[in-house]
Amino acid sequence: MTRTKKTILIVAVIALLLAVSIGAYAATTYATPAEAAAGVTGQTVDEVVAERQETGRTYGAIADDAGKLEEFKDEMLKIKQDILDQRVAEGILTQEQADGIMAAMEERAENCDGTGPADGTCLGGGFGFGRS
């Protein structure tokens, strides 16, 4: 193989890897529960964070007050799915493990009223403690 062909092949592989990586991280609109709550309620992230800090209410309760709890839960599940996909891509989890975790989170989300613990466990696992 000529040097030019090797270079083109290497550039193509790198471009493909970057495209896949960017796609994996850009699958959801929101990266944090605060962003999801703000997005579905039409508020700013600063507003929902301030409300949570002032009242002690969860982002789910804030979304519920706006009549957007189902949308908030859907967005939270998308965030969690992205994290699971990342863990599978990194080899930390198998796809089977990720599927099992996601199924458990979806089941818990059905019964989630937005008032549970604000640590992510209502939707499962609590990936990313400390994310606001």
**120-132: pLDDT as tens digits:** 555 555 554 444 4
What gap in Å lies between CA 99 and CA 27, rounded to an integer? Answer: 17
- Confidence at residue 27, expressed as pLDDT on a 0 to 100 scale: 61
Q: Phi/psi at 115 (nearest 5 deg)?
A: -105, 5
**2-34: pLDDT as tens digits:** 777 777 767 666 765 555 554 444 467 899 999
Residue 53 pLDDT > 90: yes
**87-96: pLDDT as tens digits:** 999 999 999 9
Q: State the average pLDDT for the chain.
A: 82
Residue with token string 């818990």: 108
User: Residue 60 gets which letter from DSSP?
Assistant: H
- Confidence at residue 43, expressed as pLDDT on a 0 to 100 scale: 96
Please name the residues in contact with 34: beta carbons below 8 A apart, sequence gap of 6 or more.
Answer: 45, 48, 49, 52, 59, 131, 132
